[in-house]
Amino acid sequence: MNQMSQSIDAQRLTLILNDLRLPAIKQTWPEIAGRADKEGWPAARFLTALVEHEIAERDRRRIERHLGDARLPPGKTLDSFAFDAVPMISRAQVTAMCSGDGWLEKGANLILFGPPGGGKSHLAAAIGLALVENGWRVLFTRTSDLVQKLQVARRELALEAAIARLDKYHLLILDDLAYVTKDQAETSVLFELISARYERRSTLITANQPFGEWGRIFPDPAMTLAAVDRLVHHATIFEMNVESYRRRAAVQRRSGAGRPPTYATIKTVEQSPPRDNQTTS
């Protein structure tokens, strides 16, 4: 085949790959073809190499899009999380959860309790990042920000649609639950969100207060009980009762002292499904 014919074929192939929307193959086929000719690859091996490269590039672009959509705070990774400061939290257990298998598929939840500055948001974001890298959809948001958006949707008679749009996320990370004000309108849309995702989609919550103090968040005791029931049914709970990282770092900068003792507990909760009379109108 002469050089002119090869050039025409290459131009036709470029047009065809554009029509088929195969940009990775379009970019790399000359290099792969040259290697195949040099090494005498069978046709099947050549085609397989092209297709595998296209799939890998699609996966990379999809993860890139999902990372942008997840709105995760930057720099919060498992590698940068101080597991030694919360020694009762197992790195192996957290790493296993980052595959998403076995809990995101079932709509199970993850709840992180602990005082401010104890690493809850960092760990939540790091888990979210790992899940996105493993192909899951995640959204990280301050609870108060999302609640305000849902309130606007309710006023516009679009709350159901707004909650339904969140279904595309396998994991919804609600950071700082305690900062929702004790207002009937705010807590009502939060409860509707929790109820809508129950046993369908997973939710990760970070909170400063244990369940016993959630009456400060939900003004209606029945709503409090119903919300807790839905969240802890099929849930893993990390209690990160540790001294604030920020406070400890400040003390260490001033005094050069070693790390104070810390502790944390972990438990997996399986309790009865919410009772019918634990709902609100």
**8 vs 249 pLDDT, higher one:** 8
Q: 108 and 51 in one domain?
A: no
Of 68, 90, 109, which residue sits at a domain end?
Answer: 68
56 and 98 assigned to the same domain: no
In the chain, the percentage of residues whose pLDDT exceeds 70 is 81
- Which long-range contacts link 104-107 to residues 24+ away (Cβ below 8 Å)? 104/131, 104/136, 104/170, 104/171, 104/202, 106/199, 106/234, 107/197, 107/198, 107/199, 107/200, 107/201, 107/202, 107/234
Same domain, 127 and 197: yes
Average pLDDT over residues 156-166: 95
| 152 lies in the same domain as 95 | yes
Of 165-169, 222-226, 247-251, least confident by mean pLDDT is 247-251
> What is the predicted pLDDT for the residue at 5?
64
The CATH number linked to 215 is 3.40.50.300
pLDDT tier at 19 (50, 70, 90 boundaries)?
confident
- 159, 269: one domain: yes
Asked if 62 and 84 sit in the same domain, the reply is: no
| Mean pLDDT of the 144-170 span | 94
- pLDDT tens-digit profile of 48-86? 999 998 898 988 899 999 999 999 999 999 999 999 888
Q: Do 197 and 258 fall within a single domain?
A: yes
Per-residue model confidence as pLDDT tens digits over 95-123: 999 999 889 999 999 999 888 888 999 99
User: What distance in Å separates the CA atoms of residue 214 and residue 224, rounded to the nearest whole number?
Assistant: 7
Q: Work out the pLDDT band at 179, boundaries 50, 70, 90.
A: low
- Give residue 6's pLDDT: 65
Judgement on whether residues 27 and 132 belong to the same structural domain of the protein:
no
User: How many folded domains does the chain comprise?
Assistant: 2
Spacing of C-alpha 122 from chain mean position: 12
Among residues 68, 89, 116, the one where a domain terminates is 68
Q: Which of 33, 52, 68 is the last residue of a domain?
A: 68
Beta-strand pair 235-239/265-269 = antiparallel
- Poorest-pLDDT segment among 8-12, 92-96, 166-170, 189-193: 8-12
Average pLDDT of every residue of the chain: 83
Do 120 and 257 fall within a single domain? yes
Closest CA to 153 of 197, 121, 177, 185: 185
Does 172 lie in the same domain as 105? yes
Q: Give the mean model confidence (pLDDT) for residues 16-20.
A: 83
Q: Which residue range is the domain that position 145 belongs to?
A: 76-278
Choice among 1-10, 70-79, 145-154, 255-264 with the minimum mean pLDDT: 255-264
Q: Answer yes or no: do 257 and 155 share one domain.
A: yes
Distance CA 194, CA 203 (A): 8
Mean pLDDT of the region 160-171: 96
Q: What's the rounded Cα separation, in Å, for the pair 261 and 62?
A: 42
**Range from 97-111, 120-134, 236-250 carrying the lowest mean pLDDT:** 236-250
pLDDT band at 209 (very low <50, low <70, confident <90, very high): confident
Task: For residue 122, give the amino acid letter.
Answer: H
Q: Are residues 63 and 87 in the same domain?
A: no
